[in-house]
Amino acid sequence: MNKTDIMSDTNATEAGNPGANRVLSVPPASPAAAAAYFGASLAFHADVSDVASTLAVGGDPGFVVIDTRSTASWDQGHVPGAIHLPTALIPEQAEVLLDKSVPVITYCWGPGCNGATRAALALAQLGFHVKEMLGGFEYWVREGFEYETWEGRERHVPDALTAPVDADDCGC
């Protein structure tokens, strides 16, 4: 048996079926289950582009944005208008700083950090309506949205891998 035969045999065994399609080896959920899952996902998450476009309109967006990171991280840059409330301080400060009738959008550094998830959990346990901003501060900056630092406002050129280069929105 040569290396190609071993690899083919291993792949077939892993998939449980010679020549199996690994993408469909577990079939997709039913349309009803998929609708329930994706609908629930949208109830828990907000996209940085959607948050930015809503905030850009001005006026009352109907939600408040919470930066859950450390003071050093906040000083490095944060979403304009966000409230700084590190996750560890939520139990003692959330009810003083926030109104339970206003939904909260949490964020942290980015997709590799679950700080916004922990903050959202802490806020939900206190009775707040909450969503997590997918992509966090990393994608806010990568998509070219203006942010504040202790020195003032800044903006980076959008990263072509995360945002359209010559369009106002991605169309999704």
Q: What is the mean pLDDT of residues 22-33?
A: 94
Q: What tens digit of pLDDT does each residue of 128-155 get?
A: 999 999 999 999 999 999 999 989 898 8
What's the pLDDT at 16? 56
- 48-to-1, 81, 108, 112, 123 alpha-carbon distances in Å: 52, 14, 12, 15, 20
Rounded percentage of the chain residues whose pLDDT exceeds 90:
73
Whether residue 171 is predicted with pLDDT greater than 90 in this model: the reply is: no
What's the pLDDT at 161? 83
What's the pLDDT at 19? 65
Is residue 145 helix, strand or coil?
Answer: coil
Those residues with Cβ within 8 angstroms of residue 155's Cβ, 6 or more apart along the chain or in another chain: 144, 145, 146, 147
Q: What tens digit of pLDDT does each residue of 95-141 get?
A: 999 999 999 999 999 999 999 999 999 999 999 999 999 999 999 99
Q: What tens digit of pLDDT does each residue of 1-12 get?
A: 555 554 444 444
Which helix (H) or strand (E) covers residue 35, if one does?
helix 31-44
